[in-house]
Amino acid sequence: MPRRVVIILSSVFPLAAVLAAGAPVPARIEFNRDVRPILSDNCFYCHGPDASHRKAKLRLDVREVALAKEAIVPGKPADSELVIRFHSNDPEEVMPPPDSNKKLTARDKAVLERWIAQGAGYQLHWAYEPPAKPAIPADANAIDSLVARRLAEVGLKSSPEADRRTLIRRVTSDLTGLLPTPEEVDAFEKDRAPDAYARVVDRLLASPHYGERMAIGWLDVVRFADTIGYHSDNPRNVWPYRDWVIRSFNENKRFDRFTLEQIAGDLLPDANRETRIGSAFNRLLLTTEEGGAQPKDYEARMLADRVRAIGAGWLGQTTGCAQCHDHKFDPFTTRDFYALGAFFADVKEPVIGRREEGMVIAPPEQEEKLAALDREVAAKRAAVAALTPEFDAAEAEWVSAATAQPPTGLPRAVAAALKKDPDTRTARDQQVLRNHFRTKVATIGREELAALTAAEQERKTFADSLPHCLVTEAAPKKRAVRILPRGNFLDDTGEVVTAALPGYLPRPDFGGREPNRLDLARWLVSRENPLTARVVANRLWQQFFGGGLSRVAGDFGAQGEPPRNGALLDWLAGEFMDRGWDVKHLVRTIVLSATYRQTSVATPEQLAADPENREFGRQGRHRVEAELVRDRALQVAGLLSPRVGGPSVKPYQPDRYWENLNFPPRDYEMDRGEAQYRRGLYVWWQRTFLHPAMLAFDAPSREECAAERSRANIPQQALVLLNDPSYVEAARVFAARIVHEGGATADAQLHWAGKQALQRTPSASETKTVSALLEEHRRIYRADPAAAKALLATGDAPLPAGLATDGLAELAAWTHVARVLFNLHEFVTRD
């Protein structure tokens, strides 16, 4: 009886309880939007997809079971065991149980009750439904009309367009990672043609720096790094893959092809050098060279690593949990996990130990030379082979003579082999004798052998001087893959599985044939896969607004977040596929929208109603990525190298930062000259010791796939921008430009500097603040030339020639001003 009373009370006063707990309970409950998040977070752990952990044989993720067990009685919340249990005061009865540390809010309970009262309708999980591209009126911009529709629903308004300076600063940074030059800003401010903005966008999309900008996010997703990750964290050859990613974006390689080349670049019917470089994707995982590592252990780790990568990069599914048990919240089973891993069981690689050098990456002109050397080696080898009968006869003669009467002074192994009875000689013994005979005894073929050795050596020397890249090569025999019970690699009792696609998603029938990596890749970018296009579109949106339509970019499962504007995400996904996975088209569509062009300055009303900008009634504001912080300072200083691609580079780094690396111990040898001033994305990515300036600005270590970066605001960032020699050097080089190019007066110079660094002229009060600072430092350095020299000695870049004492003081003082500009919130912010 007491149970009943509680229920009646809560259904009489639901709204009061609801309002206390948060957003109002919608009049019409939608399962995916309103109910699934509550059930998933509070109930699925014991009453969800994981069969081994399921309690009372009840699952609430399948309607038939929930109804059969009377947990849910449609239309009758008061009779539903689910409702009775969550209202219970009995600690033995109440759900969720107290020791689960889960608790339903009053709003959660009201939602569930109303849902059951309305018939307890289920929906397929939103992300497993094929994207339904909504129809858009012919003259409307799809993005803008779908955002407007949603804003109207929640009673918000969109924002006016950003001013022109902000707009070009934003779109240049978003598309190339760079700042616009003052000339570009001026030109855009003056260009009043209706297509002025579209022309800027098209110029940026055609820039070689577009690919660099786009690569950053993808390199996080695939955990691209220059080192192996575990233990000794030694280098490996993969940078050509980074350049392949940049090239792919610049050439606007369609995303489906981009996918095929990475997962199966070696298996494609038209496989070539380029697609093989793409297949380095399969080699980007963590590996170990630790002594005492057990092959089975690392085979299991590597399989899991690859499954997580497919989950993170394409499916937006957190597959990792299924290594040990069926997923708690999503229908991804342990079998799905190992069957997905089995696609990669053909990748030829050492499980433990040093990676191979990889494929030689010869630029086209070198490729011909390499091919010529290959032909040369083949010819010499043929010449030697032609002598085989003669060799064999002479060898047999010598061996039999030497067995009868061994010559003196033979190497130990040769003597030992000769001592044996000819019938008991092993293959190894025979090889030893053959080598000895051919290289030391034989008089025939000397010339041919020498020529072969020389040709081989020449080829090797040349090949070694070329870049290499780890790529995927399929082994003729796949490793056997077993389901590991509880993920335990010592347990051999699990069933052997072959490659298969996850059972809960629509998939093709391979007619009994075991599918391979190419099949997997084709399925990932097939129309029937409901996830990939959404996941990619969401990440793109995140890049251009600072947050995705679903804010949990890495999890499109039950524990992720259904997008508030699902229609928009579906439209983007649908458009992406309809246009043949054309990335530039999608990017262009987004940045041309009025939604993208809105101001990022929020009104107090907007901040109150939508503090996190979930409805996109304005643009986002955020500190730019670690790589771009560096690019901005170097660019404004005029130091930034515009070169695209090449080996990773080593900028200044604190001494002894690598002192705790070992096997072998390593000295950090920083680069000199142009390589010191490359863009942030080329910085050497040492997984266990990422460059401290990159780490301070939230660059991920890339040990695991990351669909998003956190954006912390921590004191280490201030220390980097104030004191890291890269930034101090950039400040003094910028200062020299200010002094020489900025004009005749301090005010003019300051205005010039503002245009360079912030793309605007400083206000009167800013000018006053900075002028006072400049004056203070001038006074100090005029009195202390040694201090000026010391500051200006930071970094390798040369000082302007012929500076007298006054000039040094002036330059040092302006270095402080330049440094102040680099440290401004505005400088590191994309608004």
Q: Using CB under 8 A, which of 753, 792, 809, 811 touches other proteins?
A: 792
Is there binding between residue 614 and other proteins (CB under 8 A)? no
Distance from C-alpha of 208 to C-alpha of 30, rounded to nearest angstrom? 46
* C-beta of residue 534 within 8 angstroms of C-beta of residue 526: no
Helix (H) or strand (E) holding 203: helix 196-205
Is there binding between residue 458 and other proteins (CB under 8 A)? no
Q: Using CB under 8 A, which of 55, 163, 294, 465 touches other proteins?
A: 294
Distance from C-alpha of 756 to C-alpha of 637, rounded to nearest angstrom? 9
Choices 75-83, 238-246, 289-297, 735-743 (CB under 8 A): range interacting with other proteins: 289-297
Is there binding between residue 709 and other proteins (CB under 8 A)? yes
Choices 3-11, 80-88, 446-454, 759-767 (CB under 8 A): range interacting with other proteins: 759-767
Distance from C-alpha of 530 to C-alpha of 524, rounded to nearest angstrom? 9
Q: Using CB under 8 A, which of 232, 472, 565, 676 touches other proteins?
A: 232
Q: Using CB under 8 A, which of 147, 377, 470, 791 touches other proteins?
A: 791
Q: Using CB under 8 A, which of 208, 494, 547, 785 touches other proteins?
A: 547
Is there binding between residue 656 and other proteins (CB under 8 A)? yes
Is there binding between residue 22 and other proteins (CB under 8 A)? yes
Backbone torsions φ then ψ of 229, nearest 5 degrees: 105, -55
Of residues 671 through 700, those in contact with other proteins by CB under 8 A are 687-690, 692-693, 695-696, 698
Is there binding between residue 453 and other proteins (CB under 8 A)? no
Beta strands in 357-488 (DSSP E): 359-360, 468-469, 481-482
DSSP string, 630-651: HHHHHHHHT--------S-B--
DSSP string, 33-57: IIIHHHHHHHTHHHHSS-GGG-STT
Is there binding between residue 77 and other proteins (CB under 8 A)? no
Measured from the CB atom, the residue of 101 and 745 that comes closer to other proteins is 101
Question: To the nearest 10°, the Cα dihedral for 661, 663, 666, 671?
Answer: -100
Choices 66-74, 225-233, 416-424, 493-501 (CB under 8 A): range interacting with other proteins: 225-233
Site string for other proteins, 479-518 (x = CB under 8 A): -----------x----------------------------
Q: Using CB under 8 A, which of 607, 741, 748, 805 touches other proteins?
A: 607
- Token representation of residue 539: 């990440």
Measured from the CB atom, the residue of 410 and 609 that comes closer to other proteins is 609
CB atoms within 10 A of CB 520: 21
Measured from the CB atom, the residue of 307 and 577 that comes closer to other proteins is 307
Q: What is the separation, in whole angstroms, between the first and last Cα of the chain?
A: 59
Shortest CB 176 distance to other proteins, Å: 21
Is there binding between residue 767 and other proteins (CB under 8 A)? no
Is there binding between residue 93 and other proteins (CB under 8 A)? no
Choices 193-201, 276-284, 414-422, 787-795 (CB under 8 A): range interacting with other proteins: 787-795
Distance from C-alpha of 51 to C-alpha of 62, rounded to nearest angstrom? 13
Distance from C-alpha of 346 to C-alpha of 472, rounded to nearest angstrom? 9
Is there binding between residue 657 and other proteins (CB under 8 A)? yes
Longest Cα pair distance anywhere in the chain, in angstroms?
Answer: 111
Shortest CB 630 distance to other proteins, Å: 14
What number of CA atoms fall less than 13 Å from residue 815's CA on the CB side?
26
User: SS3 sequence, 339-394?
Assistant: HHHHHHCCECCCCECCCCCCEECCCHHHHHHHHHHHHHHHHHHHHHHHCHHHHHHH
Shortest CB 746 distance to other proteins, Å: 15
- The CA-atom distances, in angstroms, between 51 and each of 62, 283, 560 are 13, 34, 21
- Token representation of residue 504: 């809960």
Q: Using CB under 8 A, which of 65, 722, 797, 803 touches other proteins?
A: 722
Q: Return the SS3 of 758.
A: helix
Shortest CB 400 distance to other proteins, Å: 39
**CB pairs under 8 A, 24+ apart, for 587-592?**
587/175, 587/205, 587/214, 587/540, 587/544, 588/201, 588/202, 588/205, 589/142, 589/143, 590/143, 590/540, 590/541, 590/544, 591/171, 591/174, 591/175, 591/201, 591/544, 592/141, 592/197, 592/198, 592/201
Backbone torsions φ then ψ of 359, nearest 5 degrees: -70, 140
Is there binding between residue 820 and other proteins (CB under 8 A)? yes
Distance from C-alpha of 422 to C-alpha of 432, rounded to nearest angstrom? 13
Measured from the CB atom, the residue of 234 and 279 that comes closer to other proteins is 234
Is there binding between residue 47 and other proteins (CB under 8 A)? no
Query: Is residue 778 left, alpha or beta, with left meaning phi > 0 and alpha meaning psi from -120 to 50?
Result: alpha
Q: Using CB under 8 A, which of 153, 390, 392, 776 touches other proteins?
A: 776
Q: Using CB under 8 A, which of 769, 783, 805, 806 touches other proteins?
A: 769
Measured from the CB atom, the residue of 20 and 401 that comes closer to other proteins is 20
Is there binding between residue 161 and other proteins (CB under 8 A)? no
Is there binding between residue 713 and other proteins (CB under 8 A)? yes
Is there binding between residue 288 and other proteins (CB under 8 A)? yes
Is there binding between residue 770 and other proteins (CB under 8 A)? yes
Shortest CB 51 distance to other proteins, Å: 16
Is there binding between residue 224 and other proteins (CB under 8 A)? no
Is there binding between residue 90 and other proteins (CB under 8 A)? no
Backbone torsions φ then ψ of 289, nearest 5 degrees: -120, 15
Q: Using CB under 8 A, which of 221, 708, 756, 811 touches other proteins?
A: 708
Shortest CB 772 distance to other proteins, Å: 8
Amino acid at 547: G
Of residues 295 through 354, those in contact with other proteins by CB under 8 A are 297, 318, 320-321, 328-330
Shortest CB 467 distance to other proteins, Å: 27
Measured from the CB atom, the residue of 506 and 654 that comes closer to other proteins is 654
Is there binding between residue 773 and other proteins (CB under 8 A)? yes
Choices 117-125, 474-482, 627-635, 712-720 (CB under 8 A): range interacting with other proteins: 712-720
Measured from the CB atom, the residue of 376 and 698 that comes closer to other proteins is 698
Measured from the CB atom, the residue of 74 and 692 that comes closer to other proteins is 692
Measured from the CB atom, the residue of 206 and 790 that comes closer to other proteins is 790
Distance from C-alpha of 615 to C-alpha of 564, rounded to nearest angstrom? 8
Measured from the CB atom, the residue of 73 and 695 that comes closer to other proteins is 695
Q: Using CB under 8 A, which of 93, 390, 464, 659 touches other proteins?
A: 659
Is there binding between residue 157 and other proteins (CB under 8 A)? no
Is there binding between residue 621 and other proteins (CB under 8 A)? yes
Distance from C-alpha of 318 to C-alpha of 405, rounded to nearest angstrom? 72
* C-beta of residue 626 within 8 angstroms of C-beta of residue 694: yes
Q: Using CB under 8 A, which of 728, 730, 733, 746 touches other proteins?
A: 728
Neighbouring residues of 692: CB distance < 8 A, sequence distance ≥ 6 = 653, 654, 657, 716, 720
Measured from the CB atom, the residue of 232 and 279 that comes closer to other proteins is 232
Choices 388-396, 401-409, 522-530, 655-663 (CB under 8 A): range interacting with other proteins: 655-663
Q: Using CB under 8 A, which of 51, 124, 140, 824 touches other proteins?
A: 824
Number of residues that bind other proteins (CB under 8 A): 111
Question: To the nearest 10°, the Cα dihedral for 626, 631, 636, 640?
Answer: 150
Is there binding between residue 716 and other proteins (CB under 8 A)? yes
* C-beta of residue 182 within 8 angstroms of C-beta of residue 756: yes
